[in-house]
Structure 1
């Protein structure tokens, strides 16, 4: 992977650098590595660097013309990026699935354009057609993708980095106890179990769906949080099996033979999906999200709220932490937020994992009945 630019050089065109010692800008030609002073005026330096980069790219275009080569399309580069770059980033499955959705949108709108003809305006116009959250997610992906394209000499500058991120206003509301109780009442048993586990443990969707019966041992439920697939981004939590947690685990046991606490028997087994799953009873994150939305719509508990205000399964975690705090309990260890123990894990390079202790003793009977 390419080395990221220093903070002082972030946002600058390729080949332009800021000299912290002299407080001036310098330009380095890519062909021979010679340096040229560009003064202290940032805007003038950026403008000059962009013009030079374009001139160098024109020369490259002439070479490809003589050799009979055509410029790579954005769609073709996306495939190259997915094949060569993404695996090195070691992203979680959920993140890769989200990227796949974004890639389809990008390819549909811009895939046929040569990558060296993608301008800032083209990117800005494309991003403007999405919601602020989606736009910012796509923008971050494009910035990373174009950064690699610049490093490979395919484009002179990163057209996405000059766009402005949209302001995200948090409109989604929190669950009420009455609302979540109604949603739970309209849910199938497996979804009720997922809601109960989220309330008791305050874990994210990914971690709830990854909990296994074999993780229950020695009077504890062992959970390794995975924001990404990188071990250094994980948090190790050992939940004490309290009567409250035990009751939820007992409800997860049924006549379906599954390694996962949260599981279901699919209405139809599809061969392709079964091959992609770790186990045929495992529930995918997107399926959980859709099922929760269906139950929420059926319950009609937030009928007066706008669509963008409707809370999803993720907000069950927020309600859990709120209820823990209201009950005078420590929600930090329950949620797996940064702690001294977890910091030690990072420093030890995981030679000896130190589990953070958590006591999930929240009374959720008001919601579960």
Structure 2
């Protein structure tokens, strides 16, 4: 009887049908909203490719074809993430007795080459100079704050004066949930001002407010505003530049530039960037002793 029910389930269930159950499982896990959104997007791409297939009929060749199609479309990192999500998806299907094996497991992840140009200090300075003259005042300030703190867009736009506690700017990273406390005495040599002074500058470009980067009414801006303004400024100062086979740098590359500059000053950039493992440097230490309620302090 059980074998008959099992075979019936396997013949009946499609990828799209199990995706509904899998989405519920993702929502029940202790994941950040950003992580759930990213994984849901990978699940959507998986369903777009093989959603109408019966679970039991999906073979490694089907997964490989989907991943290669995404990779060939220029989305190398997305292709890798979809493969990892497919493997987790079919692992759950195994537990639900919908498949006898995981068809994603034998598929090798495609190479994901870095296709974006690094941002140099010289180009950053050119962009900042242009922005100071032609952009909204908040954007020129955002460039300085980004270089001073090495944080992501989503964290920069959420920085609030209430986050300054005990001589530190506290950051709870939106993407990972990592908590770090940046000392107000932190100073990047190239900026010639400590973080304390750069925070004070937030009151110079507009009437004083609570958010460090803000629009009228003391309202925060969205991360997309940082990216679009950066792209506009970069295009203005690099008109006619040939980037070769790489894409031009984006606002996010300020984070990498900041890390590289701080590293030459001997700053612990693993803590600065909020990594458990510092893959961008030679340091691969586990972040031990960090609890949900504590911030890991960057020491100078």
**TM-score where L is the length of structure 2:** 0.76
Q: Note the residue ranges of structure 2 that are not aligned, 5 or more in a row.
A: 187-192, 278-284
From 81, 85, 90, the counterpart of 2:30: 90
Cα distance in 1 for partners of 2:31, 2:230 equals 25
Query: Matches of 2:231 and 2:109 in 1, distance apart?
Result: 29
Superposed, which structure 2 residues align to 1:232-243 within 5 Å?
234-241=178-185, 243=193
Moved over 6 A (4+): none
TM-superposed CA distance for 1:99, in Å, is 2.9
1:179 paired residue number: 123
CA contact (8 A) 2:115 2:245 kept: no
C-alpha offsets along residues 59-101 of structure 1, whole Å, 9 cap, x if unaligned?
733x459xxxx72322222222112x11233333333333343
SS of the residue 1:77 aligns to: helix
Q: Against the structure 1 CA distance between its residues 59 and 81, is the aligned structure 2 distance closer, same or farther, given a 3 Å change threshold?
A: closer
Q: How does 1:269-280 map to 2 (within 5 A)?
A: none
| Deviation, structure 1 residue 126 | 0.6
2:32 and 2:237 map into 1 onto residues whose CA distance is 32
> Structure 1 residue 142: deviation in Å?
1.0
The corresponding residue for 1:191 is 139
Distance 1:104 1:281, change over 3 A: farther
1:305 matched residue in structure 2: 243
Q: Does 1:106 align with 2:46?
A: yes
TM-fit CA distance, 1:160: 1.1
Question: More deviation in 122-131 or 237-246?
Answer: 237-246
Distance apart, 1:262 and its partner CA? 2.4
1:227: how far off?
4.3
User: Mapping of 1:240-319 within 5 angstroms?
Assistant: 240-241=184-185, 243-253=193-203, 255=206, 259-264=210-215, 281-300=219-238, 303-306=241-244, 308-319=246-257
| Residue 145 (structure 1) aligns with | 89
Paired residues for 1:50-89 under 5 Å: 60-61=6-7, 63=8, 71-83=12-24, 85-89=25-29
1:217-248 CA deviation, whole Å, 9 max, x = no partner?
Answer: 4433122345434xxxx243232256532332
Select which of 152, 156, 163 maps to 1:204. 152
How far apart, in 2, do the equivalents of 1:145 and 1:91 lie?
16
The answer to whether residue 294 in structure 2 is matched with residue 343 in structure 1 is no
For residues 167-210 of structure 1, the C-alpha deviation after alignment (integer angstroms, 9 at most, x for no partner) is 22223232112211233324543333332122111223333233
User: Does the CA contact (< 8 Å) of 2:34 and 2:174 recur in 1?
Assistant: no
**C-alpha distance in structure 2 between counterparts of 1:60 and 1:283, whole Å:** 52
CA distance in structure 2 between the partners assigned to 1:75 and 1:91 by the alignment = 22
Q: Is the Cα–Cα contact under 8 Å of residues 237 and 358 in structure 1 kept in the other structure?
A: no
Matched residue, 2:189: none
Q: Is 1:330 equivalent to 2:267 in the alignment?
A: yes
Cα drift, residue 127 of structure 1:
0.5
- Residue of structure 1 in register with 2:168 after alignment: 220
Flag structure 1 segments of 5+ consecutive residues without an equivalent: 1-30, 32-55, 267-279, 360-369
Alpha-carbon distance between aligned partners in 2 of 1:75 and 1:257, rounded to the nearest angstrom? 51
Shift of 1:214: 0.5
